[in-house]
A and B are shown apart, each in its own frame.
Chain A
Amino acid sequence: MSSSVVTTGAVLVAAGAAGAATAFLTTTLRQQQKGVVATDTPPAIAVAAAEASLSKGPTLGEATAQHLREALEVAKQLTGEQKAELEAIAQQLTAPGKGVLAADESVSTIGKRLVKAGLQNDFETRRGYREVLLSHPDLGQYLAGAILHEETLDQVHSDGRTFVQVLSDKGVLVGVKTDRGLQPLIQSPTETQTLGMGDLLERSRRYRAKGARFAKWRAVLRLDAAAGTPTDAALALNAAQLAQYAALSQASAAGLVPIVEPELLIEGTHSAAEFAACTEVILGEVYAALAKAQVHLEGTLLKPQMAMAGIGAPSKHTREELVALTLAALRRRVPPAVPGVVFLSGGQSEEEATGNLNAIARAAGVGVAGAEGEALRRRHPWSLSFSFGRSLQASVLQVWSSGGGAAAAIDIAGALAKANAQAQQGAYEGPHPSLTGAASLHDPNRGWQGPPAAAAAAAAAPPAPDTVKGAEQATPLS
């Protein structure tokens, strides 16, 4: 991209007109590719707009305070009856012996995986894939909930039932991803905020009307000691956004139990201990924000990452380290009022994720007999389970995309869910049904294009066919 286009984009971004900047960059780049726009003449209109809005836009601190204020306004109005209903849903979601399937990948994220597996990223392929994921007859024994993408809420099984109906018939609660992806922070481009707040209440209400009972919103933090991230400001902003999302989700008009997901990325060279220390800082900030906003904790869940050494770290963590550090961080920051913690699987292989969950369960006293088990369970008052995406899906996609057939793919979806349900009880024995072996399922910069250099490179790739029904934002950052 020419430097003057980048400069204009940067000016717009610095003026707080991030949305306009994105649109400008996207449009201009596509036009450049088609030879429409000369590479060194920024449109005059864009420059004028930038100058006009130079003084607008809140600082991160102001934005943070506003999120918390708005969250509190909403949370204060929750009635006892509404709180009771949220608590009941949360209890159902944390039923022993079960967990959550995260099948809510955005169109572009799931698209990348489908394309990598040799498939098309189109509506019907996505529908067919989700069908295979949700069809196993025994899923209700292993899953308390399944998080869907907005698109999937409207889709229909080949047997005529909606996917919502399919899940309800199995006794599995329907959840929806309600954020609209990540956006880099102007003030700190390797860090992000999460989009989607503007019409969140209205969308949540709509999703509930379609059968959803819980929601999920993903905030992302990046640990990079050399770069000084996560910065206090980014952390405070993301925590405040999580608080507002939680309050809006719980609000009477919406009535969805919010899964609060402050994901600390595993990219980096940090040790597992450093990761855990950073996790403590993040969780402390998140629960301080939720407390400030008076979010009803008993009607929320937490979705954190297990404590791991960075992808680029000189040495990997042991399972014992992961378990000890993860549980210590939770004990130190998560109040007992939170009914459940559901781990994301991040870049772990299917087998690793199950094994780690099993070890975590046992270290928390689940499946451990006698006084020792009792004492351990006492120390860990929230339920501990899974909210796995890739670790419940990789083998399924592999079978389905390589011509293994729907039946075989459905089988393995069930087997993976079963293995993790066993692990939740500290009773997993193996062998693991995974077909992807020890292959890491790590997706770098999942959900966004990563830091600016990476973004430019990614934007230079041909855009994927966009045949989405409904209002999915078509920006390179979602």
Chain B
Amino acid sequence: MNYAFEKENPFMEELKATAKKISGRGRGILASDESNATTGKRLATIDLANTEDNRRDWRELLYTAPGLGQYISGAIMFEETLFQSGADGKPFVQTLNEANIIPGIKVDTGLQPLPFSDGETATQGLDGMADRMKKYYDQGARFAKWRAVIKVDDVYPTEKAIWENCHGLARYAQIAQENGLVPIVEPEVTLGDGDYSIERTAFISEKVNSQVMRWLNEYNVCLDAILLKPNMILPGLDAEIPPPDVVAKYTVMVMKRTIPPAVPGIHFLSGGMSAEESTLNLQALQEAYPNSPWSLTFSYGRALQSPTLKTWQGKPENKAAAQEMLVKLAKANSEAQQGKYKGPHPFPGDGRILQALRLGGAGK
């Protein structure tokens, strides 16, 4: 029975406390766990080479932004970054902890196409994961992330793809809890091409969420010690962008139907939304469900990084301004999380980022 597992796991109290702290109201997660390949693509947009130093400098800029910890409760890192230090020699893990930001680690090793299925994927990374997690815990990570991707349109997903992705998430989550890491469970119903309706996304997300919960229960994962990272409910990229209150209505409906109150935090991914859209939608969520049992908050990657990267341009003289931009964005989302965001947005011009399903890459 699951009580035995919960009682026997020496990490259990710490796991619950960590999950509670990360999901505390007024803060969210900075997702900065892009693989080296993906990071390289980002750096390329500002004409920086994809070297270890450049990747390190970019992450250092993010993690040393003054005052970031007021609005950010956790930072997800890629493996390389977890073991890196800043220019001053201080490990990033220490820098983050000093800023009251809990270090996290991406543990999946990317997507793999499902055979005979047009664009559907499974997530890899279970082999040897327990050993890697022990290493990550020793280094200072206290939460993990695994991204499952489910393609949606008027035809997909297949039952097989849902099964495979939910099953993988549950296995990962169980192993994570066993090794002292709070699992962020990310069943991303990806914002894709086509004009499929918001109702279609809601229907599929509901199905996927309930199966995720079902599999987590099967594997005795303690729900008090996980975080969920789902997509907001949006129609296809070719459909009209719905206003925030419509997005919020469908998103809240799906979450209420599928996520039990024990889960302390729901940290929405920004996916293909623009930075401003991400903030406005987050604000609308609080208005749609002001007394939610779980924190309705964020785990944003590009919504926080893209304007910051553009401000930096890879130039040392822009570093302070870039850091300021990051903190302003984090603050805007912190306010939105509390239902207090009024605007104007620190970076309104950032258009919607088309999210293509990159095989083998991490995406966001």
Listed in ascending order, the chain A residues whose CB lies under 8 Å from chain B are 273-274, 276-278, 280-281, 284, 287-288, 291-292, 297, 328, 331-337, 377-381
- B21 vs chain A, min Cβ distance (A): 15
A-B CB contact pairs (8 Å), 26 listed: A274-B1, A274-B3, A277-B2, A278-B1, A280-B2, A281-B2, A281-B217, A284-B217, A287-B213, A288-B213, A291-B207, A291-B210, A292-B210, A332-B224, A332-B262, A333-B217, A334-B261, A335-B256, A335-B258, A336-B261, A336-B292, A337-B257, A378-B292, A379-B293, A381-B256, A381-B291
- With both chains docked as a complex, state the minimum distance between the C-beta of A272 and any C-beta of chain B, in angstroms: 11
In contact, A336 and B256 (Cβ under 8 angstroms): yes
* Contact across chains for B3 and A377 when beta carbons are under 8 A apart: no
Q: Other than the known A334-B260, A335-B259, what 9 A-B pairs have Cβ atoms closer than 8 Å?
A: A276-B3, A277-B1, A277-B2, A278-B1, A280-B217, A287-B210, A288-B213, A291-B257, A331-B260
Cβ-closest 9 pairs across A and B: A291-B210, A284-B217, A277-B1, A277-B3, A337-B256, A332-B262, A331-B262, A337-B257, A288-B214
Instruction: Let me know if B108 is at the binding interface, CB within 8 A.
Output: no
Most buried by A among B206, B224, B255, B261: B261
Cα separation A274 to B6 with both chains bound (whole Å): 13
Which of A273, A335, A378: most chain B CB closer than 10 A? A335
- A378 near B291 with CB under 8 A, answer yes
B257 touches A297 (CB 8 A): yes
Main secondary structure of the interface of B (DSSP, over half): helix
Given contacts A280-B217, A331-B262, A381-B261, contact A336 B293 (CB under 8 A): yes
A333: B residues at CB distance < 8 A: 217, 260
How many chain B residues touch the partner (CB < 8 A)?
A: 24
Contact with A along B214-257 (1 / 0, CB 8 A): 10010000011000000000000000000000000000010111
Residues of A within 8 A of B255 (CB): 336
Provide the bound-state CA to CA distance between A328 and B3, in Å: 11
Which applies to chain A's interface (DSSP): helix, strand, loop or mixed?
Answer: helix
Point out the residues of chain B lying under 8 angstroms from A335, CB to CB.
Answer: 256-260
Instruction: Determine the distance from Cα of A337 to Cα of B261 in the docked complex, in whole angstroms.
Output: 10
B261 adjacent to A379 (CB under 8 Å): yes
B293 contacts across to A, CB distance below 8 A: 331, 336, 378-381
Residues of B contacting A336 in the complex (Cβ-Cβ under 8 angstroms): 255-256, 259-261, 292-293
A262 to chain B, nearest CB (A): 15
- Minimal Cβ-Cβ distance residue in A for B223: A332
Q: Output the least CB separation between A123 and chain B (Å).
A: 44
Residues in A neighbouring B223, C-beta threshold 8 A: 332
Which of A274, A332, A380: most chain B CB closer than 10 A? A332
Name the B residues within 8 Å of A331 (CB-CB).
Answer: 260-262, 293
**Nearest CB in chain B: distance from A394 CB, A:** 33
Residues of A contacting B258 with CB < 8 Å?
291, 335
Complex interface: chain B residues within 8 A of A274 (CB): 1, 3
| Chain B 257-309 interface residues, beta-carbon cutoff 8 Å to A | 257-262, 291-293
What is the interface of chain B, defined by CB distance below 8 A to chain A?
A: 1-3, 206-207, 210-211, 213-214, 217, 223-224, 253, 255-262, 291-293
Alpha-carbon distance between A277 and B214 when the two chains are bound, in angstroms? 15
B240 vs chain A, min Cβ distance (A): 22
CA of A337 to CA of B260 in the docked complex: distance in angstroms?
9
Q: Name the residue of chain A whose CB is nearest to the CB of B5.
A: A277
Enumerate chain B residues within 8 angstroms of A287, measured Cβ to Cβ: 210, 213
Bound Cα distance A276, B7 (Å)? 14
On chain A, the residues within 8 Å of B213 by CB distance are 284, 287-288
A268 to chain B, nearest CB (A): 14
A233 to chain B, nearest CB (A): 15
Known pairs A277-B1, A379-B293; A284 contacts B214 (CB<8 A)? yes
Q: Give the nearest-CB partner of B255 in chain A.
A: A336
- Tell me the smallest distance from the CB of B296 to a CB of chain A, in Å: 12
Q: In the complex, A50 Cα to B1 Cα: how many Å?
A: 40
Contact B2 A377 (CB under 8 A): no
B2 and chain A: residue at smallest CB distance: A277
Using Cβ atoms and an 8 Å threshold, which residues of chain B touch A273? 3
Residue of B whose beta carbon sits closest to that of A382: B261
Q: Which residue of B lies closest to A274 (CB)?
A: B1
Closest to B216 in A: A284
With both chains docked as a complex, state the minimum distance between the C-beta of B285 and any C-beta of chain A, in angstroms: 14
Smallest Cβ-Cβ distance to B291: which chain A residue = A378
A273, A274, A291: most-surrounded residue (chain B CB, <10 A): A291
Alpha-carbon separation in the docked complex, A263 to B201 (Å)? 35
Closest-CB distance, B169 to chain A (whole angstroms): 15
Asked if B262 and A328 sit within 8 Å, CB to CB, the answer is yes
Known contacts A281-B217, A332-B260, A291 near B206 by CB under 8 Å: yes
Chain B residues contacting A381 (CB-CB under 8 Å) are 256, 261, 291-293
Q: Which residues of chain B are within 8 angstroms of A291 by Cβ–Cβ distance? A: 206-207, 210, 214, 257-258
Q: How far is the CA of A379 from the CA of B265 in the complex (A)?
A: 12
- In angstroms, how far is the closest chain B Cβ from the Cβ of A457? 32
Distance (Å) between the CB of A158 and the closest chain B CB?
46
Contacts of B3 in A (CB 8 A): 273-274, 276-277
What residues of B have a CB within 8 angstroms of the CB of A328 in the complex? Answer: 262
Instruction: Please give, as numbers and ranges, the residues of chain A lying within 8 Å of B217 by CB-CB distance.
Output: 280-281, 284, 288, 333
- B211 / chain A contacts, CB cutoff of 8 Å: 288
Q: How far is the CB of A30 from chain B (nearest CB, A)?
A: 44
**Chain A: minimal CB distance from B242 (Å):** 18
* CB of B7, distance to nearest CB on chain A (Å): 9
**In the complex, residue of chain A having the shortest beta-carbon distance to the beta carbon of B207:** A291
Q: Which residues of B contact A334 (CB under 8 A)?
A: 260-261
Max chain A Cβ within 10 angstroms of own Cβ: one of B207, B224, B258, B260: B260
Tell whether A380 pairs with B261 under 8 Å between CB atoms, given A287-B210, A332-B224. Answer: yes
Smallest CB separation, A296 vs chain B (Å): 9
List of A residues within 8 angstroms of B260 by Cβ: 331-336
A284 to B223, CA, bound (A): 12
Minimum CB–CB distance for A171 against chain B, Å:
28
Q: Tell me, in angstroms, the Cα distance from A274 to B207 when the chains sit together.
A: 30
Which of A274, A328, A337, A380 has the largest number of chain B CB atoms within 10 A?
A337
Minimum Cβ distance to chain A for residue B8 (Å): 13
